[in-house]
Chains A and B, each alone.
Chain A
Amino acid sequence: MHKFHFVSYILLSTFYFLLLTNSVHADSAGLSISPPVIEILLSPGQTTTQTFTLKAQGQNLNLIPEIHSITPQGNTGHVAIDLKPLDPGSLPLSITSPKYQLGEAIPLIGDTLVLPLTFKSAAEDITQDVYLALVFKAVSSDPGTTSSQTSPGISALILATINPAGVIPIDLDIEQFSLALFHDSWYPLTLQPLLKNNTSSMIRPQGEYSVISPTGKTVFSLPLYPNLILGHSSRNILGSHTRCEGNPHTGCVDISPLPLTWSPTWHNLGPYRLHLTITTIGGTKLTELEKIVWVLPLRLILLITSLSAIVIVIALTFFKQIFKLKQP
């Protein structure tokens, strides 16, 4: 009987574990990279090192690390990657790895690849930005000859400013900060302004959006999300959930961005000032813009006007009938 129990225990345990085991496709491949984005501020002729950790899942994989140039695309922080790998030695920011040769296949041993990269800026006395992507392509080390192959690639962004003076040039413009003269207090008021960086150096500004009542009281304020804006590009201006305290070393700690939306209440009436201030991390004012919008209960006014008109028409018709009846 004890033997029967033991066998039952083993069989049930095995069955249970088999049910819970995740299925793995031998032909699949997964990649994850850390850190996904790095920002570097470097003096000319100086060197710094950053380690990238790539975790890979899949069998018989070769990993090919390559450096590609990128360009900002749109206003949401996306980039377009140039498909031709760059020669890292040809850049104002030379990139070398003491451990691996960039552009050559590295057989994946285990599930983690640690790639230290050394960045050395050119000894040129000019401020310039370099935007690159470190792309890891995973290719099968045993490709078949009868079918087409697919290759996953994952990239980490390397955003560098080479600055000899220690002072970053700043030239920002607020764009699309426009709105109608009147706003119905029934609806929330959402703005979608852009911040344009006119310099070639990236910047991560902060700021605040505030709504000021006709009596000068701030009825709504929202700290801006400290998005990075690359050189000669624009970024949507968004608010953030928590107040941005501004730390010169770590920046802000906001959780996620949200649109600049103010919901007026029924008693918000009159000319309201919408004020947008852009500052540095240290709090120095860079630019500001203000617009006035008249907040009125337009829907309520329309409703009252319509009802009044209907009442007047009915009353006129009624009195006209009475007047006709009184006529001899």
Chain B
Amino acid sequence: MRYILALLVTVITCHCLTASVHAQTSSMDSQSYKIRLGNFNMTSGYKSSTTYQLTDTVGQIAAEFFYNNNYHVKAGFQYIYALYDFSFNLSSLSIDLNPLSPNTFSNASHTLTVTAPGQGYSVAAFETRQLTSTAGDEIPDTLCDTGPCTESLAEDWVIPTNNGFGYNITGDDKDPEFSLPTQFRPFPDFSADEPAATIMTSVLAGKNRIATVNYRISPAADQASGTYTTQIVFIATPVY
């Protein structure tokens, strides 16, 4: 009996301790009401009387209106209630496509997570150069099967003898160009002055929007052996 009591006390203590770790959210609701606070701050909102009107975000860093005779600066989303920061997360900083075999697909993937207040966001992607070995040999970007697919146009790529390197994207807010998981396209090449490709886009605020980037490579039979690398850059941009 004492052992059970001790066990019970232990579990309750643990639960209380962990419950106190979690931050309270700025949303209160029941079946009949829902209150949303403007920011994760001390306070925020719209105040007015017959003599003044004011929006404030007490505690939010840098969301302010600064002015004097020579400049005005509006920082942050003062016009809307920003419920969260603009953030972007990449689940992996490396792409491991090894081992590579001629005329055989190798695949790798990782996720992108975006949280955007306001009226949405976009994520653009590009490669700094084509996959290049230390000896200077290159694995070309994919042209897909019957394409050719381009930096903005995705096409089916299921035949591994059509060699190259490309990607597709699945999940939230993906570029609608990728309507099927078999459709791929090459990354824009920064060294060739190609503009970045939009891979995720939304006109709505969203929290933890997750998409998966799937990389695919199939080297040719006569591809010189070596270690081929490049850098893929993803840039998240808010809507103004």
Contact = CB atoms under 8 A, between A and B. Distances in A.
A149 B94 contact: yes
Interface in A8-50: 8-9, 12-13, 16-17, 20, 25, 27-43, 46-48, 50
Interface residues of B, number: 80
B81 A41 contact: no
Interface in B70-113: 70-81, 85-98, 110, 113
B18 interface: yes
A35 B239 CA distance: 12
23 contacts: A30-B113, A31-B89, A32-B87, A36-B77, A36-B86, A37-B240, A40-B74, A46-B70, A77-B119, A79-B122, A83-B196, A137-B233, A137-B235, A148-B95, A148-B230, A149-B95, A150-B233, A151-B234, A152-B88, A154-B235, A226-B79, A250-B65, A253-B55
Given A28-B89, A159-B240, 18 more contacts: A32-B115, A34-B60, A34-B61, A35-B76, A40-B71, A48-B70, A50-B73, A76-B119, A79-B122, A139-B231, A147-B97, A153-B234, A155-B235, A155-B238, A157-B238, A247-B53, A254-B80, A255-B81
- Could you say which of A39, A82, A147, A249 has the most chain B C-beta atoms within 10 Å of its C-beta? A147
A150 B232 contact: yes
Nearest to A246: B53
Contacts of B140: none
A44 B92 CA distance: 45
Interface residues of A, number: 84
B33 interface: no
A112 B95 CA distance: 26
Given A28-B90, A155-B237, A146 B76 contact: no
B124 interface: yes
A218 to B, nearest CB: 23
B183 interface: no
Contacts of A28: 89-93
Interface string B201-240: 1010100000000000000000000011111111111111
